[in-house]
Structures are given as structure tokens and as C-alpha cells.
Structure 1
Amino acid sequence: MRGNNAAQVGAIVFDTGVEFAVWSHHAAQVELCLFDNDGNREFARLPMARDGNHIHRLFVDGLKAGACYGYRADGIYAPDNGLWFDPSKLLIDPYAKEIDRPFRYDPRLGVYGEDSQDLMPKAIVTTDTRAAVAKPLFKPGGFIYEVAVRPFTILHPDIPEHQRGTISALAHPSVIAHLKRIGVDAVELMPITAWIDERHLPPLGLTNGWGYNPVAFMALDPRLAPGGMAELRETVAALHAEGIAVILDLVFNHTGESDRYGTTLSLRGLDNLHYFRHVQNCPGELVNDTGTGNTLACDHPEVRRLVIDSLRHFVLNSGVDGFRFDLAPVLGRTAAGFERDGGTLAAILADTVLADRIMIAEPWDIGPGGYQLGNFPPPFLEWNDRVRDDLRCYWRGDQWKTGALATALAGSSDIFARNDGKGTRSVNFLAAHDGFTLIDLVSYAGKHNDANGEHNRDGHNENHSWNNGVEGETLYPSIRKRRKNDVMALISTLFATRGSIMLTAGDEGGRSQRGNNNAYCQDNEITWLDWKTLDEDLIAHTAFVAGLRRRFTVFSETDFLSGNGDVEWISVSGEPMTVAEWETPSLHTLGMLLATGDRASRGQRTRLAVLFNRSESRELFTLPAEGEASWRQLTPAGAKKTGARVTVEPRSVGFFIEK
């Protein structure tokens, strides 16, 4: 053992060679396979020695960074007992930091005794290059922009063709200019680590375009990062130089090895019994809390170490500002259920490298007790689907939604005040990668997922959507205008909420997926962002409300709005809302009067009125005035004087400042 830490694993480069170390409790023998530089010809297969910690080690003299390798693990093959050892399968190192090619699904990857050497990527020995790690640029209350790298850049006309679809494209001046125009504080990159297609996709001629099916947790997918970690590091630095943070969306809840009929690629072949969760007293049956066939045992010490080391790897070697965790309750699961202070969640928050990073939980999975919104330990931020649904239902015209709107605007204290919470940890959003796009939300009453090959059975059935009179695309100018107005109203509402906010890339310009609300397998024009067809009016409106959010201090604060001098809820009369008005099921108006600092006037205190009108007609509000105070309406064209009686257009949100 040449390292300083007897528990260190992975491929560790020394001056005189490379030490390989991989953990497996149940393997009888693990072998290191070395390949030539193109990863095609195996030139050595070497047995590794097990130490007292069940780490299999081997030092190879003279080997250098750039060498290609994999593992084979022998032992008992008894899937009914949770043992899947098959020495015919070449396995990717769980600590691989680079691979030489993407994963490609092939049914032979799951056939016992079928050699997979020619089907598998090879891991590449790398040396770490440290990034400049500064304090995270993103602060709670900011604006997160969710980005799928390939669909976002593949059709951008200004990006050189060879660069489109890659991480480096995010650093292109035209992309950065767009991000800055709409006020983005952080880009949240959907999975960029190496993934594999689900087995049902290739026969349908489809591929996974989102990446939520990982195999190697540290290795970037070569399709997105042909330049490896250096490409990510340089892109992060370029975005940081423009004041934009980078958050990685990572998947630690399952692997692409799927259920017992899936593939043997890495963890399954190394020690299926310990890396994955199994039904109690039934070791051959994998727990499926993720809906993908398997669930990582994140409470196991080796899985916990893999998660922590992966996060540290990305912070130290690329300088990212934080992470979003897919199906995050899995990180807190034990045999007894979800534990908010469980070992892995606590270890993430306690780690010295990770302690100041932004952490965002998707607070649900499909397992027992899987809905954990509001229950993650601070300072975790949490995706808030209650806000998503309440804002959708409000603008759809559902009854009894005025109170829900106000609760969302005020920071969702009903959720985040639990466990003595002092402020909101909400990430408010209207649409995300999973579900309708924002324009589809107001254009389709139902999902249209036939292109996915599952007879429209996949995807959520209840989307709280509406079509404005015609299902799908239409040439009727009046309907197109209504839809645009609805999107503007939704975006205005989102940007007026207290908490962090998130918008999915392209929603600011009317991106459509043709009614597909589960487009993970559409790596084509359905998900690719066509920059030439984006709606300039919608982009300008997003830039306008983002500017308001940055201008007024009230929107970057995260204390709950309490009504004690920070907010007044008013009716159209300008008087405080009465109990009877709150309880009016079909009330179409609400006024939110905020006390705020105005950065445009050096922080001077003022009042901002945000007025909601979901009716089909103009509404006349009376705003409370003190003495000779007057009000001005804030619009993309600038401020215009209005006085105390103001008009709010049908199905819109108006912003007024007291002067």
C-alpha cells in the first residue's frame, strides 16, 4: 500500500506507478484488467490482494496516468441470494474519474457468462487538477436556471458546430449574454456523469437524453464533456467570471444496472448485496424506491463514502457551487425509513469541503414514506411541488386557491416552519425537466407522450394544466395571445415568491415539447431548444421581472412574510383582506403590499404593490396612499405614474411602486 490512507480507493498515481483499490466484501477474487491506449486490447489481467477492510489492492510499477483499465470480480453467482459475481463481466471502477467512451446498452451486458469486454467503456487513470474553490456565488433567494446541456446548446446558431451539445458551449459569449439578460444567478446542470440507456429504449429507436440513469458517479459522460474534467472546470470558471454559479444535478439513488433483468456494469458485479437495498429477508429482491429497478443503500458505509467522495471530487476539481440531489429521500433512508439526520445527510453537511456548498433536495421518491417535503435538515433547499401545483391551479381558475397563493408568496411557512425552521428553504418552480414545459402547461389539457412508445401510459396524468380552448398547437391569434399572457402571469407570480426560484431553460421563450410531459427519451427536436423560434416578448418579460427581483430587497430575503410590517394583503378596495374575502371560493384578485428596500435608490425604503388578476376583465385596484404619495407602474418600458387608482389587465400581474 503506497498511499497515506489505508482506506483510500480508486486509481492513485504515484511517481513510480499506479495503485488500484476497489471495495468488495463478498468477492472471492478481484482482477485488474489493463488495456492499450485505445481501450480495445487487454494486455494484462492481474489478481488483486484483499486487505482487512475488504479493499482489493494492487500496485503496478511503471504505469502512468492515461492507462485504461477495468475490473473483473469472481465469486458465487446466485441472484436469488443477492450475489451476482460473473468474471465474464468487465466492470467500471466506482471511482473512475474518466472513461474512454459512452455506455451503450446491449442485452449481452446482462447475460451470465457472456464476456462484456468489447461492450464496455474502459476507465482511464487520471491525476487530479485542483480548481479555484471560492465561496459559492449563489445565495438562497436567487434565480436558478435548470439546463440540460445537449438540448440547450445543440441548435444554438452562434456556437461552433463542433462545440454544440457539450459543456464547453455553456461558456460561449452568446449563451452567457442570454443568461445575464434574464438575470440568472445559477445554472443547474442536469446529469452530466456517465449514464446508460434503459433497456426498453434501443428497440424503440430512442435514447436517454437527460442522463438520470447513471453508472459512474465521478466520470463525466464523454458525449457532453469530450474534454473531461478540464472542460467542466474551465466552463465553471467562465461562468463564475460573469457572476453565475454552477450547481450539478446528481443521481445517487440508483444505477443504470436496473432490476434483476438488467445489466452488470459496476456495483452489481462488485458487491450487489451491499451496494443496493434488498427486501428484508429476501436478498434476491431489490427494493425499488426509485421506480428504476434498484435503490442504492446510502446508509452503507461504502456507499456513503462513494457519495461523499464524488461530491468532494466535483468541488475540488471543478469548483462547482453546489448540488441538487435527485430523489433525495434515498440519501436518508435506512431499513427503518427516512431519517432527516441520517448518516449520509449528516456526513454531507459536516464535511469540510462540502459544508458551505449549496445543497438542494428533490424531497420525494416512490418508496414508503417517500414524500419528505420540508423534512430535510437545514441548510438544504428543497424543490417545492406544492407551490408548483398551487400556482398552476390558481391561474387555471380553480376555487379556494387565494390562500394557497398567498402562502406560496410568503415562503411556505406551513412547510418550512416545521422543526423550528426560521425561514424558507423553498425552491419555487412552475415547471421542471420532468413534466410539461411552461407553454405546454397552458396549451394542453392532457399529456401526449405517444412518441415515447408506451402508448401514452408514462408520465404524470394530473398536470393541473389547461389549453385555452384548443388542444395543442393552433393558428388562432386570440388563443396564442391568451397563452402568452398566461405564461407571463405565471412567470410574474413565480418571480414574486419568497424563496429561491427555478425556471427550466427555454421556458422563458415559450419552448414546447408538443405536449410530451416525460421527454427523457427524446434526444431530438422535441427537447432541443430552437433558439430561432423563441418568443422575444416572453424573454423580455422574464428579464423585466428578474430585474425587479434583483432591484427590491424583499425578494432576496428568506424570512417568512409574517404580516408584522413586512406585507399587507389587500383587496381591490385597498383595504386589508377580510375573512369573508379569503374564504370566497372564486375570488379572482389579490394584492400584496410589500415593505422593501429599493436598490435603484441606494436601498431607500419604499412600498411595492404586486397585484394579481386572474379574471377575464380589467380590475381597478385602489392602493393605499399616505399623504401626497403617488404610485407608479413598473413595466418593461419603464415606470409610469398612475396615482392611487390603478388598472390591472386581464389575467396578469401588475407591479407598482410608491413614490
Structure 2
Amino acid sequence: WGYNPIGYFAPHAAYAAGGQRGEQIAEFRDMADALHAAGLEVIVDVVYNHTAEGDHLGPTLAWKGSANADTYWMLDGGMYDNPTGCGNAIRAESPRMVELILSSLRYWVTDLHVDGFRFDLASTLARTSAMVTTWAPVLSAMAADPVLSQVKLIAEPWDIGIGGYQAGNFPGPWAEWNDVFRGTVRDTWRSIGSLSELGARLTGSADRFAHNGRRPYHSINFITAHDGFTLADLVSYNEKHNEANGENNNDGSNDNRSWNGGAEGPTDDPDVLKNRRARQRSLLATLILSAGTPMILSGDESGRTQQGNNNVYCQDNELSWTDWGALDEDLIEWTKLLLQIRDRYSVLRPEIHPSPDDLHWFNEEGTVLTSEQWNNPDVRVVQAMFTGDPSVLLCLNTGPEPVEMTFPMPARVVLASEDVTLTGVDPSAGVKVPCYSIVVAEVLPED
């Protein structure tokens, strides 16, 4: 059914290896069971915000004409409201559509064995005749449903209509894509923004999620997604390059917050390549080591590029494919190490939002950050101590020059995105941290 759905109970046949009708259902179920056997959960990206019938000029394939008022948000003159940007929008307050959506979701859980859903343009589901509310009929029905209330629910918490930006507002059980995390972290590693904003993102975005009983893990932290630049392109291009899409490079977002490091696109310049490598590794480290649930775009761990195209939905070719012969093995190993560090230190995976006693912030000299330093956009170095057993220091140099960091208390380096050197004879005292890099240190117990 893909991104222009008609059959909400039908896995997209083109994704299946089996050629006979219906085989994709058994194949999907077998796939889900195999993933479960390997210890992996299955989250399905679902599109209940529009259908393939488009606007008044679109095809009649299912509900158009016979059930317009029940299915779609309509305007005067038989026109279709379009807060999705896809020609129409499902009227999810309609009892018939609530019934259809819930029946479909339950089918995917009970018959196809999925563990949860990511809802594309989830704010469309929150639309009612009166307002956008995250207790709209279909959302309330899901919360009361004995099956759906037990699975993972993830919102893309916006659409393009009036009132559509609902980030931070979905009810307690829902997790949400955290776009503020994305923007802040992208800015951080091109030396923009304050430490106070970065600090909020490193520690679970309590300003957005510490209400309605929500926890840090309700923040789906991400830097890249299926829309937009890949991680490799984020550090390689200042501008989008979507000419292949045939829209004169007018499609795709212009708000990329990217930096090419000194040359646009492919280059042999060793300084530019070193800069890009450092920032790729630090971006991944910030994502994986921050409180919350990290979401990694497939291919970012191996350096996949789309050649600067940030809108490849229409490209079924080398621009959107993975080149399995060109994987960045060093970046893959770095990603593995980061995941091991996240797993090793529970303080990096807090169940509740940290209190002031759980967090301490230091400058490169190992002294407590002043309010002026905390809010000064020119200050590019911070040491964040997460208190626990053991405590962990995240030392970030987000600026263009190497910095000597004195640890605020004795610690040992357990991971560094770039090679570090000692600042003295005592290895627990501190290290010289290269530009655009991260150091993880375990605080040593007191004698």
C-alpha cells in the first residue's frame, strides 16, 4: 500500500519475494517472527492521514464519491481540505474511519505480529471539526483499545495545516519524533547555538516531554530521517542538489542546517575529509549517547550518500539505493562502540528526567559553568557529568580548535571520537580534545 494507501490491511506486494497474491501476508508474518527470534521488535510506518485518491482531480479508487463525508475533510464546492500536502486528508473523527483505522491496526498486531507503529503526519489524526486535539476520537479509541494500548505508538507530531504542529502535545503513552533535537544537534556540530539548548537535548528534552507522566524515552531523538539529507550528505553539502527530481531544485527542504566542511560534495582535500569524518562521528555519538530513544537512519552508520539530494522519494535508482560495496567499515565499528557504551552505562538511559543532582556541567578547565558561559553562543566546549554508579563524563568540543580539558574529578577515557593526548603525566587528570570531537570518560571511585 506504500505512501499512497488504499488497502490498509494489505502489505505492499512489491516488497515481497513471493509472486502469488496473498503470499506477501505469510511472508511478512514470517519476517516478523524471525526478527522477534533475533531479539528485534517490528515497528511499521503507517499512513492514515491521506489516501491515493488525491484531490478533486484525482482517481476514484475506493471511498471518493460514495463516502466523501465520512472519509475526507471536505471544503465548500466539493473540494478537499489538504493539511497533508497530498491532495486530501482522512477525517479521523468520523465513526466509520475510527472503526476502519482501529480494525486495520489491530490486524497488523494480531495477525501480522508487529510491535508498534510510527504514524506519518500524526497531527491529521488529531483533527476535529472544532480544533486539533491529541484526545481526538481515534486517539482516544486507541488508548482505550485492549490491543493497541499495549503496543508502541510513535507520532510524527505535525502536518502542514493550521495548528498542525503538535510536538510535545501527544498523550502520555505516545512517543514523538523530536525535531528540536534534530535542529539543535545539527547546529551544534557546525558551531552554532548555545550550550543551554544543547544541554536540554542531551538530557531527554524535559522542556518538551516532562509532563503527562512522560519519560525521556518518549523523545525519539534523530538527526536524519527518510526525508532530507543522509548523515554523510549533512557534512558534505551546504545546499540541496535535487536537480534529478525534475523540479528545478525547488522541491525538498531548504532548512538543512548542514555544512560541507569547506568543499561542496565529493572532494579529495584531506583537511575537508578529516573535518567531515570528525563531525559524522560526533553527530552519531551525540545521537546515541543522549537520553531518549535514538533513531538511526539506515545507512548513516555506513556512510550512505544520496549525492546531496534531500528528497529521493521519487528516485528508485542509485540515488536512493544502498551500495553494499561501498560501506564505511570504520564508521560501522564506531557505531557499534557507541551502542556498547550506551548499553554499559545506565546513566545514559535514564528512566525519568534527571534532577539537578543527577547532572553537573563544567567548562574545559573542570570548573562549574557560569550562567554567562551557559548561554554564550561563542562557548563551544562543555563537560556533562551524569551522576550514577559509575558516573560518566561526556566531553564535547564543538568548535574548530583543539582544547585541553581538565576533568572535574579523576576519570578514565573509555571512548574518543578522535585520537586524544594527555595534558599531563596523570591520565585521569584530563586530555587534549581535537576539534569537533567527543570524549566519554568514566569517573573513578574516590579512594
- The amino acid that maps onto 1:426 is S
> What's the secondary structure of 2:330's corresponding residue?
helix
8 A Cα contact 1:540 1:636, kept in partner = no
Alignment partners' CA distance in 2, 1:350 and 1:551: 37
Cα deviation code 1:609-642 (max 9, x no counterpart):
11000122221111122xxx54233359999982
1:220 aligned onto 2:14: no
* The one of 274, 277, 282 aligned to 1:481: 274
8 A Cα contact 2:53 2:59, kept in partner = yes
Equivalent residue number for residue 4 of structure 1:
none
8 A Cα contact 1:358 1:380, kept in partner = yes
More helix by share: 2
Identity of aligned residues (%): 41
8 A Cα contact 2:345 2:390, kept in partner = no
CA change 1:652–1:421 in 2 (3 A) is: same
Equivalent residue number for residue 523 of structure 1:
316
> What's the secondary structure of 2:30's corresponding residue?
helix
* The one of 192, 212, 233 aligned to 1:440: 233
Equivalent residue number for residue 573 of structure 1:
365
Alignment partners' CA distance in 1, 2:225 and 2:417: 26
- The amino acid that maps onto 1:379 is P
Equivalent residue number for residue 438 of structure 2:
653
Per-residue deviation at 1:269? 4.7
1:306 aligned onto 2:62: no
Alignment partners' CA distance in 2, 1:309 and 1:533: 43
> What's the secondary structure of 1:593's corresponding residue?
strand
1:561 aligned onto 2:354: yes
* The one of 354, 375, 378 aligned to 1:586: 378
Alignment partners' CA distance in 2, 1:240 and 1:352: 22
Normalising by structure 1, we get a TM-score of 0.64
Q: Post-superposition, which runs of at least 4 consecutive aligned residues in structure 1 deviate over 4 A?
A: 418-424, 635-641
1:267 aligned onto 2:63: yes
Per-residue deviation at 1:478? 2.4
Equivalent residue number for residue 394 of structure 2:
610
Per-residue deviation at 1:514? 0.8
8 A Cα contact 1:572 1:622, kept in partner = yes
1:327 aligned onto 2:118: no
8 A Cα contact 1:298 1:344, kept in partner = yes
8 A Cα contact 1:229 1:317, kept in partner = no
Equivalent residue number for residue 414 of structure 2:
633
8 A Cα contact 1:337 1:368, kept in partner = no
Equivalent residue number for residue 535 of structure 1:
328
> What's the secondary structure of 1:540's corresponding residue?
helix
Cα deviation code 1:462-515 (max 9, x no counterpart):
111111111111122321221111110100111121111101100111111111
8 A Cα contact 1:239 1:246, kept in partner = yes
8 A Cα contact 1:393 1:401, kept in partner = no
* The one of 523, 534, 550 aligned to 2:343: 550
Query: Which segment is superposed worse, 258-267 or 372-381?
Result: 258-267
Query: Which segment is superposed worse, 230-239 or 366-375?
Result: 230-239
More strand by share: 1
8 A Cα contact 2:385 2:394, kept in partner = yes
> What's the secondary structure of 2:101's corresponding residue?
helix
State the aligned residue count. 435
Cα deviation code 1:190-230 (max 9, x no counterpart):
xxxx1xxxxxxxxxxxxxxxx32212111111111233211
Gaps of 5+ in 2: none
1:316 aligned onto 2:101: no
CA change 1:490–1:561 in 2 (3 A) is: same
Alignment partners' CA distance in 1, 2:117 and 2:229: 23
Per-residue deviation at 1:420? 6.3
Query: Whose Rg is larger?
Result: 1
Alignment partners' CA distance in 2, 1:472 and 1:306: 46
Equivalent residue number for residue 206 of structure 2:
413
> What's the secondary structure of 1:346's corresponding residue?
helix
1:241 aligned onto 2:32: no
Cα deviation code 1:354-379 (max 9, x no counterpart):
11100000000000000000000011
Alignment partners' CA distance in 1, 2:39 and 2:100: 31
